[in-house]
Structures are given as C-alpha cells and as structure tokens.
Amino acid sequence: MTMYERVLQRQILAGGHAGRQDKYGEAGATLLLLGVLAAAPLFASRATVNDLGQAVCLGLFAISFNIVFKYSGLLSFGHAAFFGFAAYAEALLLQFFGNLPIPLLVLDAAASTAILGLAVGQICVRREGAYFSMTTLAIGAGLYSIAFKWSAVTGGTDGLDGFMPDTLTILPGWQWDSPGIAQTYWLVLAILIPSALAAWALLELTPFGNAVRAVRQNEKRAKFLGYDTHHVKLANFTLAAALAGIAGALWAIDNSFVSTDSIDLTFSTTVIIIAFIGGTNWYWGPVIGAVVYIAASDWLSALTPHWQIWLGLAFILLVLFAPGGIAGLVRAGWRRANV
C-alpha cells in the first residue's frame, strides 16, 4: 500500500458508519453553521465580517477540492488553477461588463471554469493516485506561469484592482451604490450557499451522485456493470471545477483585488490544508477549516513572523491524531454523547 493510499484509507475510516442519529446531527450542524455565517454581520465587527467573507470563499473552494477527494478519491495538487482562473475571469468581466447583474457574471465565470475543468479533467482523470496528483500539479503550474507572464491581461505580479464598479447591479433594476462590507458579504453568501447546496444535493440525492459513489467504491465492478467510469469521474471533476469557479469569482468581488496569489502552487496546497483541518468526511467540514485557517493565520501572524511553521506543525498533529479534522472530532463527541 502506498503512502497515498494509506492517507486516503485513514480519511475514509475516520468517517465510520453513518446512522440515523448522525443524519440528524449533520443536518442540525449544517443549519447551525450556515445560520451563524448568515447572521454574522449582525453581531460581529467589520474586521471579522471582512475575514469571514474571505473564509467562506476559501471554504467553498475547499469544498470543491474535497468533492474530487472524497467522492472520486483523487487528490488534486493544482486546484488553485480553477479558483485563480475564475478570479481573473470575474475581474475582467466586471471591468468590461460591470453594469450586468452580478449573479450573471459569476455564472459566466463559473461556466468558463467548468469548461476549463472539462478540458483539464479529460487529461488528469484517466490517471490514478500519484499520477493524477502530478498531472494536476503540472497543469496548475502551467496556468500559474501564464497568469504570471501575461501581464497585459492579468497585471502580472501587480495583479488586477480597481475593477469593481461603483454601482453594483444585483438584478436588472436593483442596484447598490458603493455597498458596505456587510452588504457585499451577504451578496457573496446569497450566491455561495445555494451553489454549495445544489452540488451537495446532486451528489447525495440523485442517481448521478450514486454513480459517482459507486465508481469511487469499486471502479472495476462499476465498469463491468456498464458504467462509463471515466465519464462519471470527469463529470464530478467538472462539477468541482464549476464550484471552484464560483468561489474564485466571489473572492474577486469580495476582495476587489486579484493577484497571482490566488493561482499559485502554494495556494493549491493551502486548500488541501484547509480541507483537512475542517474534515473531509463532512461536506461542510472544509468551510469550518477555512474559518479556522483564516482566524489562526490572523492570530499567529500577529504573534510571530514565523507563523506558517506553527500552522504547519498544528496541521501535522491534526492529520496524525485527528484524521477526520475538526468535524471528525465534533462527530466523535456527538456519538459519545448519544450512546
């Protein structure tokens, strides 16, 4: 068994069996998490809401990573390619078509990213294990160097800013003049939560999602039962790319700034860390991971310039001793309380 397979196995074992108790627990936890996020501007400071805006975009991005990891068993090492591509696309769309409704522009960026995902997936998804990871890494590196070199479009190392129009069109005939932090945050959530829920429903409630899970559990048998397993995995990868596209587009709106930071290889590893901190076995776990990651990096970076060492150490400990991440720890506590 390779190292890679062992890590995958540990993640899956940490999930355990889901009983009826767990289902209610998970539904309750989902409502609580989404409710707290939606209500945050009512009680949290402006700085916190600002951080949360970044965190939810990162959270959706980490959900996208985890859709490939959890539902197809593939570890993407170049996932920032999709997030960054969408962030640049959204910035350029806002710059040139800033008077169009925001949801349309986000949809546009997500659709372009899905097409990119379809093309990239066509190459990567046929490979398994480390070969899949290496292929995504190579493609991620390629897209990064394009963003870095093609400064006429991407602004190179300076990035893009000043693309946000003063007046945002929410829907035709409904406009916001220079929206505040809370307004922008709610706009982001109003697109983000339904998108994440739709992807969840697709994977958990429909025959398509069942096909994805069947291929994940036993690809060989699925093939001999008539499943076109390559296309099933490709469809799931494309779905994940679309979601990363929404995350990147919302990130551009929330930050009003896009740079190579959102497409470089470090960011591709950051999203893995975020997903694992939150927990890969619960669909919303990566969102918790993102909130904790942003909070911890804020707090640690104020204490020491070497904060990434401490964050890395905490990550190693978490993977070793709590492979289910924070969501896994909470679930274990919940089960103990319900015995």
Partner 1 sequence: MSEIFLLNVAGLSKGFGGVPVLANVNFSLRGGERLGLIGPNGAGKTTLINVITGGHAPDSGRVAFQGRDITSLPPHRRNRLGLARSFQILSLFPEMTVFENIRNALLRYRGRHVQIWRRLSRLEDIRAEAAHYAALVGLGQALDQRVDTLPYGEARRLDIALVLAQQPELMILDEPAAGLSASETRDLVAMLQATIGTCALILVEHDMDVVYALADRIMVLDYGSVLAEGTPAEVSANRQVRRVYLGAAAG
Number of residues that bind partner 1 (CB under 8 A): 25
- Least distance (Å) between residue 230 CB and partner 1: 9
Using CA atoms, how far apart are residues 198 and 60, in angstroms rounded to an integer? 12
Residue 209 is a binding residue for partner 1 (CB under 8 A): yes
List the beta strands (DSSP E) in the chain: 160-161, 167-171, 174-177, 257-258
Nearer to partner 1, 157 or 217 (CB): 217
Q: Which residues pair with 171 in a beta bridge?
A: 174
DSSP class of residue 209 equals H
Here the tokens at position 63 are 């959900």
Q: Measured from the CB atom, is 16 or 101 closer to partner 1?
A: 16
Which residues are within 8 A (CB) of 269 and not within 5 positions of it... i.e. 6 or more apart? 77
Question: Which residue in 5, 158, 161, 228 binds partner 1 (CB under 8 A)?
Answer: 228
Report d(CA 19, CA 24) in Å as an integer.
9
Q: What's the min distance (Å) between Cβ of 200 and partner 1?
A: 13
Are residues 123 and 139 in contact, defined by beta-carbon separation less than 8 angstroms?
A: yes
Nearest distance in Å: CB 73, partner 1:
12
Residue 1, token pair as written in the block: 């068994």
Given 123, 225, 309, 316, the residue binding partner 1 (CB under 8 A): 225
Amino acid at 332: A
Which residue number, 109 or 232, has a Cβ lying nearer to partner 1?
232
Q: Which is nearer to partner 1, 5 or 228 (CB)?
A: 228
Per-residue DSSP letter, 280: S
Q: Among the candidate windows 41-49, 61-69, 217-225, 267-275, which touches partner 1 by CB under 8 A? A: 217-225
167 binds partner 1 (CB under 8 A): no
Considering the rule CB under 8 A, would residue 208 count as an interface residue with partner 1? yes
Q: Which residues bind partner 1 (CB under 8 A)?
A: 17, 202, 205-211, 213-214, 217-218, 220-229, 232, 235
